[in-house]
Structure 1
Amino acid sequence: MKNWIGIILLFWISQAFAQDEIFRIGVAGLNHGHVGWVFEADKRSDIQIVGIAEPDRALAERYIRAHGLSMDLIFESLEEMLEKARPEAVTGFGTTFAHLEIVQACAPRGVHVMVEKPLAVSLAHAREMAALAQKHQIHLITNYETSWYATNEKAHQLFKEGKIGDARKIVVRDGHRGPKKIGVGPEFLEWLTDPDLNGAGALLDFGCYGANLSTWLLDGQRPLSVTAITQQLNPADNPKVDDEATIILTYPTSQTIIEASWNWPIGRKDMEIYGLTGAIFSDNAKQLRVRMARGYDGFQEEKFELDSRPEPFDDPFSVLKSVVRGQTQLGAFDPYSLENNLIVMEILEAAKESAASGKTVFLSK
């Protein structure tokens, strides 16, 4: 009996130690403007960058110097980094086109992956990534800034509680003045404005947010149809890609309108949910309003000032660690989830087709 007790205690001690063990992260690419987030995460006691795959030596040296790290972390290829550094998970901070290559290298080795939004440049890439993740039983999650927003979580909670009744219209607006005008680095600008490496312009870069949030709010419903209009309003800065996109998704009992732009005078990431009896306005990361209808055009408004989301959802690397370690199980259509983001890619692919043809695209059942 004592032997069994000892074995059980040893098991629980080993499990506790595994949960507290430092989370070893590999970084694939450095030419994404959001890569600074992973260097900030590296300052934490529970996360460590163990290898960085970046063939551009000058770019690598710039980041290594800026963050006081060693060039020993740099590897010319992802395969070499995976073999020598042995990360538990890899975060993709290169081109969107490279996301497939990351999963192709990581999945057979049992290494989990988190990429920056969107999941892929195309639906074909996304489906191949999903098949590899499922075959090799790795987690493949997609990081959106709006997934950190306490306002979006509160909006989802209130909506699901029936605060404003059934949804009739969801409006999501995202974007800024454009990559060049906001001063992104040259290595980021080069591929953001390349239709092959980014998949499109504003349509993919910011259209993915609305598709992701709509899919989450509507419990994974696929739209019946997708209609999109794209324009190139600033060809001098964006000669190869669209910089203005409006996407309309129709569902059996509602519509979603996605306004993605590199021409907003003020950067924005906001969402509006209109129900039968009221509306929820997620104005930014921490400010939310609920308006309940009164008469024809009157309303009673309640305002919320929210703090950051609770751990681990206050930080994408905490989410990645928690999911990989089995401490958090994402909902079926959580914004980070593969299930959600496959639908996002289906929507974006249909939007590109609609914009090119000038016709509404009806999704197959």
Structure 2
Amino acid sequence: MATENRIEDVYRRRTGAARRRSPPGTGGHHARLVGRDERTAKNGKTGATAASIQVRSNFQDQHDLIVSLDPELNNYVFQQEERLFQIWYPDSFMRIIGADSIITTLGPSHKHIRNLVLRLFGPENLRRSMLQEVQKTAQASLLSWLDRPSIEVKETISSGRKNVMKMLKELLDERKRAPGHQGSSIDFIDVLMEELNEEKPTMSENAALDLVFLLLFASFETTASAITAVLTFLTHNPEVLQELTEEHNYIQKRRVDPNSEVTWEEYKSMKFTSHVIYEALRLANIAPVMFRKATEDIHMKGFTIPKGSKIMICPSTVHLNPVVYTDPNIFNPWRWKDTVEPTGGASKDFMAFGGGLRLCVGADFAKLQMAIFLHCLVTKYRWKAIKGGTMVLSPGLQFPEGFHIQLFPKA
């Protein structure tokens, strides 16, 4: 594979590298690929390795980089977050988000900001208010799709973020002029206003808006990709769609009023829906790579990862590993039936939401959005694929031709 020619040994650039044993794998002076078995090293082909190498070709920053295809190393990095490893991003990414972005905060600052976000996305607020808000949004979105000859799913879902930053800035200014907002639920502007009004706030107004931007990106962009992936898989797997529909019809039939809102208990009872979501996230690999940096020399499996080495974690190498998942390239939600789903959304065998201290803070919210969207969809509508649906990691999940559908009300 041509990209493999650019994978070079990080260790030869370091003083004393010849005296210590570096991780096995191919490599040179910019990046080292570790974690492949003998068969893969010969032919360069397996779903996981091919995807990971394709991702590497999109990051050309001149850094010492270890591309980890080793599930054990990936999990170890997450478990040792802020002890032996810390967050790191390529220069190309930092130029987009800004060098002072709060996404790079460490230690107590990161913990404080995470706790702020959990006031919005934590289980209590999801149950108390977000569940109803998500359902209203899903119902309104689907209703707007009717009578349109074609809907490009991802673009339509993610279009809601347009002009949102301007609106949020205006809302923040309004709250500053009229403090003491009273509402039936906590919104993130309330949380930020409390923080900004502290005697010694931990963030500036610009940093607060930056945080909102990152949350919006996660909410709109990644969830839109995930929902598009789910609809693509359901379109090509009618037996899965049938069981999913039966689950939601059963929930609806048990209600006194079939049109009443989804309750928290009903949401938690959506077992097959949860299997569908986990399976779609496993195959789609919406976050195909994650970056960390070693803060000291790491000794593992008889090898040394030098201090300062950058590591690119590839979850797809776990998600598409035939040892972990039988027939890994097959969309099979039933595989989760006899498997305990990852506590908190992550485990050593499932890394769609990352792991460790930096496990995606919106993981529960993302799953809620997807489940409620599917409930509103399959109980009231059917759809026909028009064109597109091809998925590519480049490096994030992309739909080069989009995924166009037409929506119809059920009789």
Query: Which TM-score applies when normalising by structure 1?
Result: 0.24
User: As a proportion of its length, which structure holds more strand?
Assistant: 1
Higher helix share: 2
Higher relative contact order (CA 8 A, sep 6+): 2
The structure that has the greater radius of gyration is 2
